[in-house]
């Protein structure tokens, strides 16, 4: 367990190389800044099955996994915040172990545990268990699951940023028409 300054709460965020993890990191940085809490960014890489079955822990595999985890954390911080965030006491950990169990061990009772929420298929769930569900079932900390923005939200943001040229009265140019993806609600008449 990582020691907390003065034993107070902190924001713990688990990251990997996914869109949900980027959104979770962004949310966690904002929450840590808002509440003036220390931020712990953790990446846990599971040990490959062939290494754990053969008992080859001393062969440098764990060091390579930790090094790639540290590079991933540095890259994500650069992409999301432009480097280490200002005004936030940041600790970064690259660990080896099952991600869900590692995050549950790191987050204490008074912490805020932040994880990303991604969309995965049933076959992917068979190969890798869901970290979000593991944390939801076992974590004692307050759990926050952050979803990446929906495609419609991204389109609205792009449309708002684009400056529209003067348009003809009553006609919207075709490039500003966005069709809503997905099914529409049909209300009874």
- pLDDT, tens only, 126-156: 767 789 889 999 999 999 999 887 776 666 6
Residue 41 contacts residue 93 (beta carbons within 8 Å): yes
Residue 140 contacts residue 107 (beta carbons within 8 Å): yes
Q: What is the per-residue pLDDT for 105? A: 96
Q: What is the per-residue pLDDT for 11? A: 97
Mark the ranges of the chain whose per-residue pLDDT is less than 50: 1, 3, 163-164, 166, 172, 174-185
Q: What is the per-residue pLDDT for 177? A: 43
Query: What are the distances in angstroms from CA 28 to CA 2, 124, 131, 157, 180?
Result: 18, 26, 17, 22, 30
Mutual angle of helices 61-81 and 19-35, in 10-degree steps: 70
Phi, psi dihedrals of residue 56, rounded to the nearest 5°: -100, 45
The Cα–Cα gap between 136 and 77 comes to 25
Q: What is the per-residue pLDDT for 150? A: 75
């Amino acid at each position: 367990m990582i020691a907390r300054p003065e034993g107070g709460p902190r924001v713990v965020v688990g990251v990997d190389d996914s869109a949900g993890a980027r959104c979770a990191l962004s949310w966690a940085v904002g929450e840590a800044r808002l509440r003036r809490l220390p931020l712990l960014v953790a990446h846990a890489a599971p040990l490959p099955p062939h290494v754990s079955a053969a008992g080859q822990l001393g062969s440098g595999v764990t060091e390579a996994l930790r090094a790639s985890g540290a590079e991933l954390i540095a890259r994500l911080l650069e992409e999301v915040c432009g480097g280490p965030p200002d005004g936030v006491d940041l600790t970064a950990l690259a660990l080896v172990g099952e991600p869900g169990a590692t995050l549950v061990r790191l987050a204490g009772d008074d912490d805020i545990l932040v994880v990303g929420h991604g969309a995965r298929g049933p076959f992917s769930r068979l190969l890798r268990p869901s970290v979000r569900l593991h944390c939801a079932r076992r974590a004692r900390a307050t759990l926050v699951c952050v979803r990446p923005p929906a495609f419609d939200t991204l389109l609205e943001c792009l449309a708002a940023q684009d400056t529209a040229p003067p348009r003809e009265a009553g006609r919207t140019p075709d490039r500003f028409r966005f069709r809503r993806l997905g099914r529409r609600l049909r209300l009874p008449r």
